[in-house]
Amino acid sequence: MNIPFHPLLEGAIELHVHSAPSLFPRKQTDWELIEDIKEAKMSGVVLKAHEAQTVDRAALIREKEPQLRVYGGIVCNHFTGGLSPATVDTAIRLGAKIIWMPTFSAEEHQRYFGKKKTKFFNSKKSLKHSYGLEIWDENRSILPEVHEILDLIAEANIILATGHLAAKEVDVLVDAAIEHKVEKILIQHTDLGIARIPHELEKKFVKKGCILEKCYLACSDDFNDIRTEEMAETIKILGADSCVMVTDYGQSHNIPPVRALSRFVDDMLQAGLSDKEITKMIVSNPKQLLGL
């Protein structure tokens, strides 16, 4: 029996999912994901890949499904050129809606996984990183290329997402982004252990106008970093106006992303959040970030 998706998903946009093609085993192809998006009556999705830009994939989907808001971006990992202004500029010219700071290639990510060849989410392939990327030099001065990237993001008025940077890096990056007049700053999966953001720092970022990702993967058996009830409490404190609900799903051993988002909505309702708060986080805030 195919359980219907939650009705609150109508009009929603999921800002953080993974699908195939990918170096890593994924639950669905782009097109299988899109079929779920349509069945749930969602408005769209942002495709994310650690190892490649997703702008062209999104453009091909929009060509066939023009009624959907399907977008891509680029993660500044070693795979894609690292912290390269030229690569970011190219992605923006092609239509990127989000520029993610390093994830797999971040020094913080490598520290979390023990600085070794990482088998991530049951991947059959090991990936070797020559060194971990940070946004600053040995004196903790932000690198010139990061300043250039922030200028490009600000000029295009698209989203800066913080990736898997350490909390202390994110703190400095946010201030620099504001100085560069970046208007859309997305603090990624703040409860996820890979690069967890302390609650006091979350509150500081909210005061500075950032949007925080509340990520279902942090509640999953993969991480078990926070219970859904605890996450709901943080949302009540921080305010739904300053949060988006995302899944970060797509791993082959997990349920499909849209099914996960539907379950996430159920869990948050059971934890005491209102329909209005959830709609704000899965419909209104994502659309505002994407300039829709």
pLDDT over 60 (residue 119): no
Q: Is residue 197 domain-resident?
A: yes
Residue 111: per-residue pLDDT? 87
Q: Is residue 2 domain-resident?
A: no
Q: Is residue 103 domain-resident?
A: yes
CATH number for the domain that contains residue 85: 3.20.20.140
pLDDT over 50 (residue 163): yes
Q: Print the domain residue range for 136.
A: 7-290
Q: Is residue 30 domain-resident?
A: yes
| Residue 66: exposure state from Cβ atoms within 10 A (0-12, 13-18, ≥19) | exposed
Q: Which helix (H) or strand (E) holds 261?
A: helix 257-270
* Total tally of structural domains belonging to the chain: 1
In this predicted model, what pLDDT tens digit does every residue of 20-70 receive, in sequence order?
999 889 999 999 999 999 999 999 999 999 999 999 999 999 999 999 999
In this predicted model, what pLDDT tens digit does every residue of 89-109 receive, in sequence order?
999 999 999 999 999 899 998
Q: Is residue 1 domain-resident?
A: no
Residue 66: per-residue pLDDT? 97
Read off the pTM: 0.94
